[in-house]
A = this chain, B = another copy of it.
């Protein structure tokens, strides 16, 4: 449904043609410094009209904190965030409304709800993601302030153009939001970015669209996050990412490529981290083992399909099964991945914040107990 998370719980609302979009965030730790500016920065990164690579619609998307804060601090009570829709009137129907748009949600929303709304598959609209981005900014504020967590998503594939494995390995350690935003395509790899840019422009000129891949890296996440067995950290991340519109795939660490490896190569050997703990020499696990974060860098990739809306006529059928041609209309993003970057970051932050609250509850509760006997400790005498 429209609520995500357990201890840190985000509920979003809104579609294209209503008065506003936004969210309620429950479970925010009290005492966190928070103003609208903290949230606006990510909303601004998300909004269209930022470059000629995205749809020319220019939406202001100004957020208002309705509740849950006082004097610039969170109270611990629910935070409602709203962003007005510029054009909130249902549109007039035209002949093209006879057709469910191919690979859009018009047909399935009709199947599910029995209603043909003006906005078609209303909640499948990209505007729904505004509430996610706003909520993610709040989660991220805490994670950065307390744990120094850095969450950076960036474009690593546009159509056939892909960042090389070697470049990617390096970026996992070095990429920042600044280097990401240095190009309109949001690819921090100097070699690939211009090619991606050209690919999107060529797509746009061909009145077509293209898919792409967003990679996300999370540094400094504490160890111990994730709730076996069903709420493993990677399962929650996969759920979060695959709930973003237009996603078709998720992989963490070695991912699908890791299936080609042998165990002796894939296993991440341990070594002292010089701070009294352990780290791994390699990181094919992608920062999670057994569904729990191990303190290493978490990284994952998300596949986005080519946008279904294209500026070409399409042969398809009407709702009542008549074959025909759906005429092109409107102007749309030829590729969603540059704008998907802050959405991926937001969902990652929400998953992490929820896991932090759950694990802190366990740890704080456990630590009030007497110590367990030696037999149940990791280091045992022989």
Q: Decide: B252 and A115 in contact? CB cutoff 8 A.
A: no
- Cα(A95)–Cα(B382), bound, Å: 7
Q: Which residue in B103, B226, B286 is a CB contact (below 8 Å) of A285?
A: B103
- Cα(A259)–Cα(B305), bound, Å: 5
Q: Decide: A27 and B11 in contact? CB cutoff 8 A.
A: no
Residue of B nearest to A72 (CB): B373
* Given A112-B76, A294-B107, residue A256 in contact with residue B248 (CB < 8 A): yes
9 A-B pairs with C-beta separation under 8 A: A1-B26, A14-B78, A76-B115, A77-B122, A108-B223, A108-B224, A208-B263, A248-B251, A360-B365
- Closest 7 interchain pairs by CB? A105-B290, A361-B361, A272-B321, A249-B251, A211-B259, A209-B263, A124-B290
Query: How close is A260's CB to chain B, nearest CB, in angstroms?
Result: 5
A247: which B residues are within 8 A, CB to CB?
234
* Given A121-B290, A258-B248, residue A65 in contact with residue B228 (CB < 8 A): no
* Given A243-B232, A255-B249, A292-B111, residue A260 in contact with residue B211 (CB < 8 A): yes
Q: Which residue in B30, B248, B375 is a CB contact (below 8 Å) of A255?
A: B248
Kindly name the residue among A21, A114, A254, A273 whose own CB sees the greatest number of chain B CB atoms within 10 A: A114
- Cα(A328)–Cα(B108), bound, Å: 53
Q: Which residue in B66, B236, B261 is a CB contact (below 8 Å) of A306?
A: B261
Q: Decide: A100 and B270 in contact? CB cutoff 8 A.
A: yes
Residue of B nearest to A285 (CB): B103
Query: How close is A142's CB to chain B, nearest CB, in angstroms?
Result: 8
Q: Which residue in B18, B70, B97 is a CB contact (below 8 Å) of A117?
A: B70
A187 interface residue per 8 A CB criterion = no
Q: 8 Å CB contacts to B: which residues of A250-298?
A: 250-256, 258-273, 276-278, 280, 284-286, 288-295
Query: How close is A315's CB to chain B, nearest CB, in angstroms?
Result: 6
A176 interface residue per 8 A CB criterion = no
A33: which B residues are within 8 A, CB to CB?
370
- Cα(A102)–Cα(B286), bound, Å: 13
- Cα(A306)–Cα(B256), bound, Å: 11
A209: which B residues are within 8 A, CB to CB?
262-264
- Cα(A251)–Cα(B373), bound, Å: 43
Query: How close is A269's CB to chain B, nearest CB, in angstroms?
Result: 4
A9 interface residue per 8 A CB criterion = yes
* B-contact 0/1 string along A332-370, CB 8 Å cutoff: 000000000000000000000000111111111110111
A323 interface residue per 8 A CB criterion = yes
Q: 8 Å CB contacts to B: which residues of A213-244?
A: 213, 223-224, 226-232, 234-243
Q: Decide: B263 and A113 in contact? CB cutoff 8 A.
A: no
Q: Decide: B289 and A104 in contact? CB cutoff 8 A.
A: yes
A98: which B residues are within 8 A, CB to CB?
379-380, 382
- Cα(A102)–Cα(B8), bound, Å: 31
Q: Decide: B319 and A378 in contact? CB cutoff 8 A.
A: yes
- Cα(A71)–Cα(B373), bound, Å: 9
Q: 8 Å CB contacts to B: which residues of A1-48?
A: 1-4, 6-7, 9, 11-15, 17-22, 24, 26-27, 29-33
Q: Decide: A278 and B321 in contact? CB cutoff 8 A.
A: yes
A26: which B residues are within 8 A, CB to CB?
1-3, 11
Q: Which residue in B2, B95, B112, B289 is a CB contact (below 8 Å) of A108?
A: B289
Query: How close is A313's CB to chain B, nearest CB, in angstroms?
Result: 10
* Given A15-B77, A21-B67, residue A239 in contact with residue B235 (CB < 8 A): yes
Q: Which residue in B123, B160, B270, B276 is a CB contact (below 8 Å) of A107?
A: B270
